[in-house]
Amino acid sequence: MALSEVDRGLIAATQSGLPLVPRPYEALGAALGVSAEAVRERLAGMLASGLIRRIGAVPNHYKLGFAANGMSVWDVADERVDALGARVAALPGVSHCYRRPRRLPDWPYNLFAMLHGRSRDEVQRQARDIEALLGSACRGHDVLYSTAILKKTGLRLRED
Amino acid sequence: MRPDDTAWGDPVDARLIEHLHGGFPLVDRPFAQVADELGLTEDEVIERLTRLLARGVLTRFGPLFQIERAGGAFVLAAISVPEARFDAVARIVNAWPEVAHNYRRESAHRRGGGCACATHRASAAATPLNMWFVVGAESPAAAEAVLQRIEVETGLPVLRLPKEREYKVELKLPIAEAGRGAV
């Protein structure tokens, strides 16, 4: 499925966010040359198709008191990673959970779980819970803590 | 931006942020509807959101796109950056609009984590993968083109870790509780 011209226009017009005015969809429509109703219909359509995951606020976890952010990474047996990944995803504190390829010898880990806590101790406890859940299926792990946000803008499409 | 767990703790802001995690109404005056649901005024909701964005408590307010559904790709990438070049490399990477976010990271195993297994002994000897960023583009080929350009401009190899499977995205964190904790 390729992007339609209207969808592309909507992505470009909202990539830095919705206009903070009483009638944001009307403002978007005016910028794109369509009606407010057409904007709402397309946004609803993109929500239904999953192209839009949600419409809402993206918090800066640091400023909300979740000062510790750890990317926990695990080397899990291939035949068990999908079943275990789904269970890891359900643990409290896990915000995102993905399977990614190993890149040997540089990178031996195939399961990623993002952990958030008010302190590194809290994140370490979450990592220990994952370690217990994975048991013998796990051959090694690491936790990479973020120490600075260098950039956080979200998706930007090229204008050209 | 450095971690900051004390700058914020307004309970109305906390309720607003939690309420606005998703499901922003697709109606003529959505901020007025949200205001009704929270017992605020439309002006107050807009004013608070404007302030939260300006202060960086929110990084964004609007639709979150899952570009894979339209043929696009997000690729997690990592570089081992020598410390002396860290800021210069960050400037090169961040200049690409396709780079959606970029974090400096350090391994727990490098801080006396006590892990002595062969994997970690080996990785501890090399320059750590200390820069982690996500490239989002309209196609996997477009994402790869950006990664190749970053390799050329920085002269450093980029580890590509594309998503193979998604088990979960975006936990809704207990923000109101965090706000109280931070006061």
Give the pLDDT confidence of B32-60 residue by residue, as tens digits.
999 999 999 999 999 999 999 999 899 89
Confidence of residue A16 (pLDDT cuts 50, 70, 90): confident
pLDDT at B3 over 60: no
Helix, coil or strand: residue B74: strand
Burial of B112: CB neighbours in 10 Å, binned 0-12, 13-18, 19+: exposed
- Tell me the per-residue pLDDT of B140-179, one tens digit each, with 9 for 90 and over: 999 999 999 999 999 999 999 999 999 976 655 555 544 4
What average pLDDT score do residues B124-130 get?
A: 75
Smallest CA–CA distance, residue B151 to chain A, in Å, is 17
Number of A/B CB contacts below 8 angstroms equals 291
pLDDT score at B111: 41
The Cα–Cα gap between B168 and A82 comes to: 12
Contacts of A82-87 with C-beta under 8 Å, sequence gap 24+, read A82/B165, A84/A111, A84/A133, A84/A134, A84/A137, A85/A111, A85/B165, A85/B167, A86/B167, A87/A133
CA–CA separation, A116 and A61 (whole Å): 8
Tell me the chain A residues in contact with residue B96 when contact means C-beta distances shorter than 8 Å: none
ipTM over 0.90: no
Q: At residue B92, does pLDDT exceed 70?
A: yes
Q: Higher confidence at residue A153 or residue A56?
A: A56
User: Can you tell me the mean pLDDT for A56-62?
Assistant: 86
Question: How far is it, in rounded angstroms, from Cα B28 to Cα B38?
Answer: 18
In chain A, the DSSP E strands lie at: 52-59, 68-76, 94-99, 111-117, 138-152
Confidence of residue B120 (pLDDT cuts 50, 70, 90): low
CB spacing of A144 vs B67 below 8 angstroms: no
Model confidence, pTM: 0.78
Mutation for testing the A interface, residue in B103, B134, B183 having most A CBs under 10 Å: B103
Q: Please, which pLDDT band fits residue B182 given cuts at 50, 70 and 90?
A: very low
Please tell me the distance from the alpha carbon of residue B71 to that of residue B129, in angstroms, as a whole number. 29
Q: Is pLDDT of B61 > 60?
A: yes
Q: Which residue has the tokens 């970029």?
A: B102
Q: What does the pLDDT read at residue B178? A: 45
More confident residue, B180 or B43: B43
Residue B181 pLDDT more than 60?
no
Whether B164 sits inside 8 A of A56 (CB atoms) is no
Query: What is the pLDDT, as a whole number, of residue A148?
Result: 86
Residue A121: pLDDT band (50, 70, 90) is: very high
- Using CB atoms, pick whichever of A44, A56, A101 lies closest to residue B20: A56
DSSP state of A86: H
Q: Phi first, then psi: what are they for A153, rounded to 5°?
A: -120, -15
Q: What is the percentage of chain B residues whose pLDDT exceeds 90?
A: 57
Q: Collect all residues of chain A within an 8 Å Cβ-Cβ radius of residue B170.
A: 53-54, 95-96
Query: What average pLDDT does chain A have?
Result: 91
| CA distance linking residue B157 with residue B66, whole number of Å | 27
